[in-house]
Amino acid sequence: MVKETVDASIDRVLWTEAEIAARVAEVASELAADIRRLPEPVVVVGVATGAFLFLADLVRRVGKPLAVDLVRVESYGDGTESSGRPQVTADLKVDVAGKHVVVVEDIVDTGNTVTCLIAHLQKKGASSVSVCTFLDKPARRTVNFQLVGDGKFYRGFECPDSFVVGYGMDYAELYRNLPYVGVLKPEMYNKKTSN
């Protein structure tokens, strides 16, 4: 058995690599079963950059041809708090008009980013929009987003109200490569404000 390597910047590990793999396989199985039943084309839209590992792990398990694209929505910058005003800064290349779209997120907290993306996809003519998030942080929810059409909400883990990194999630573009999800020590992100 390989011992998990914990970066000195991490206060504690919430989910190990093995726990993540097991839960992602369960979510992927549910998502894949639903996608296989859909007659229309499906577009899976990953939210860059945080969802890239989760996105890859999901789509490899679907077993049906689908389109995959990335969109970039920014609201954090280098901070730990969302600005509350997400903006699409890099749009899709795939046409989603008349298609079922599954938005793949690393984490849904306030709901602002997902709400922004759903509205954006509706304007582009998506017939339905589902959301599949690795982490759901309902304690931070300020917006109750509405799915479109026959859309569903899929989630991996319910996350405590802590600043987490790893498995694609970052702080100032660091820590994405950690194979586990851990709580970042506050002194790591308070350095910028104290200097």
In total, the chain counts a number of residues equal to: 195
In whole angstroms, what is the distance from residue 104 CA to residue 102 CA? 6
In whole angstroms, what is the distance from residue 67 CA to residue 123 CA? 19
Whole-number CA gyration radius for the chain: 17
Name residues whose C-beta falls within 8 Å of residue 54's C-beta, 6 or more positions apart in sequence.
24, 46, 104, 106, 134, 156, 167, 168
34 is annotated as an active-site residue = no
DSSP 3-state percent helix, strand, coil across the chain (nearest 5): 25, 30, 40
* Token output for 4: 């998990």
Catalytic residue among 57, 106, 109, 136: 109
Looking at residue 33, its amino acid is: A
Residues catalogued as catalytic: 109
